[in-house]
Amino acid sequence: MYRPHDETRRLLRQMNALHSKTVFITGATDGIGLAFARVIAWAGWNIVLCARSARKASRVISELQSINPDIKIHSVVCELSSLDSINKAIRSIRKIGLQLHLVFLNAGITSSREEKTDKGISSVFFVNHIAQQALLMGIQHQLADQSRIVIQSSVAHKFAREPRLYTEYMNIQEKVASSVYADSKCANICLAYTAGKYLTQKQGRQIMSYAVHPGYLVTNINRDMFMQPLYQSLLDSLCGRVTPLMLRLGYHLGVVQPSVEHAAHPAIVAALAENPSFFTGPSGYFELYGPPMPAKIYHDISTECAQILWEQTEQCIAELHGST
């Protein structure tokens, strides 16, 4: 029988983990998303899972139902690299008819920067940022008053470029920069900076948004990057793509989260603490591991900058809709 780690239960005791609320989670069938879903199920929350396949969703639903038979669990199938699939998922969420008290946008990829969606957009930037905003815009009417949005970023955002440059990822004619993953993670912080304010104004209900990062842990998202040959990691670092080398060094130095559940702690704090910091991450060396605490943002993300990115992303989504 599942039981949260002692440190996780201490966190839950410090926070308001009320029952009979509903959370929507992307990337909930593996890694940090699944760890978060286990904890929130144990705490008594109803759950709407977003999964890439019905088979994976069914497996996770069975596990979560065994953790807490009293909660309600729904699932929607969504391939986040496809705007058509996102639209179908939004319609499914609306059909479920539940008010959402918490949204945890956790899904992400680190695919090759050359990979594109069927619309010709960078897959990494689309899945990690554009798809997240498209989902929020689509489910905004389901958000309850005093609801929270928690967006998974990464410590890799420190290697990102200035957010005003990200429009190149929304243009199929542009080449994709080697920093696309870091840029997408910085865009996540921009999205968190703007989403709550925008949706509060739009819906007339109080909606808060926060960003988190899990520190360092080898997961399905970064495993391919971690497993590439060392010489390739060195070559990538010379070209400005330093994340694979950092992953290897951090792993061998032991500066890693002890478990995937520990990596979910920043998200748990942002979701449940009474007054969480806007950006939460681990407190250890280089923010790679350790108990959650307010994290450092390595870019000067102004209200104006984040708003501009929201508007550009909204325009990109509208144009992609128009091309279908």
Calpha distance 99→305 (Å, rounded): 31
Confidence of residue 129 (pLDDT cuts 50, 70, 90): very high
Is there a domain that residue 53 lies in? Answer: yes
Total tally of structural domains belonging to the chain: 1
Would you say residue 221 has pLDDT above 60?
A: no
In a domain, 11, yes or no: yes
324 pLDDT above the threshold of 60: no
Backbone angles phi, psi at 123, to 5 degrees: -60, -40
Residue 227 included in any domain: yes
Give residue 176's pLDDT band: very low, low, confident or very high (50, 70, 90): confident
pLDDT at 119: 81
pLDDT band at 143 (very low <50, low <70, confident <90, very high): very high
pLDDT for residue 272: 93
| 3-state secondary structure labels for all residues of 143-189 | EEEEEEEEEECCHHHHHCCCHHHHHHHHCCCCCCCCCHHHHHHHHHH
73 part of a folded domain: yes
Residue 99 DSSP class = P
What is the C-alpha to C-alpha distance for residues 307 and 301, in angstroms, rounded to an integer? 10
- Signed CA dihedral, 202, 117, 33, 218: sign only: negative
The CATH code of the domain that includes 161 is: 3.40.50.720
pLDDT tens sequence across 45-76: 999 999 999 999 999 999 999 999 999 999 99
195 pLDDT above the threshold of 80: yes
DSSP secondary structure string for all residues of 215-246: -S---TTTHHHHHS-HHHHHHHHHTT--HHHH
Best-predicted range by mean pLDDT (4-18, 50-64, 171-185, 256-270)? 50-64
Q: Which residue has the higher pLDDT, 293 or 233?
A: 293
CA 80 to the chain's CA centroid: 12
- What confidence tier does 110 reach under pLDDT thresholds 50, 70, 90? confident
Instruction: Please indicate, yes or no, if residue 1 is contained in any of the structural domains.
Output: no
Domain containing 90: what range? Answer: 6-322
pTM of the model as a whole: 0.89
* 219 in a structural domain: yes
Mean pLDDT, the chain, as a whole number? Answer: 88
d(CA 40, CA 273): 13
The tally of CA atoms less than 13 A away on the side-chain side of residue 61 is 17
Give the torsion sign (CA, 207, 23, 188, 132). Answer: negative
Report if residue 86 sits inside a domain: yes
Strand segments, DSSP code E, in the chain are 22-26, 46-51, 73-77, 100-105, 143-152, 207-212, 279-282, 292-294
C-alpha separations of 73 from 44, 63, 219, 233 in Å: 11, 11, 24, 41
Q: Would 195 be classed as within a structural domain?
A: yes
pLDDT above 70 covers a percentage of the chain that reads 85
User: Do residues 301 and 118 lie in contact, with contact meaning Cβ atoms separated by under 8 Å?
Assistant: no
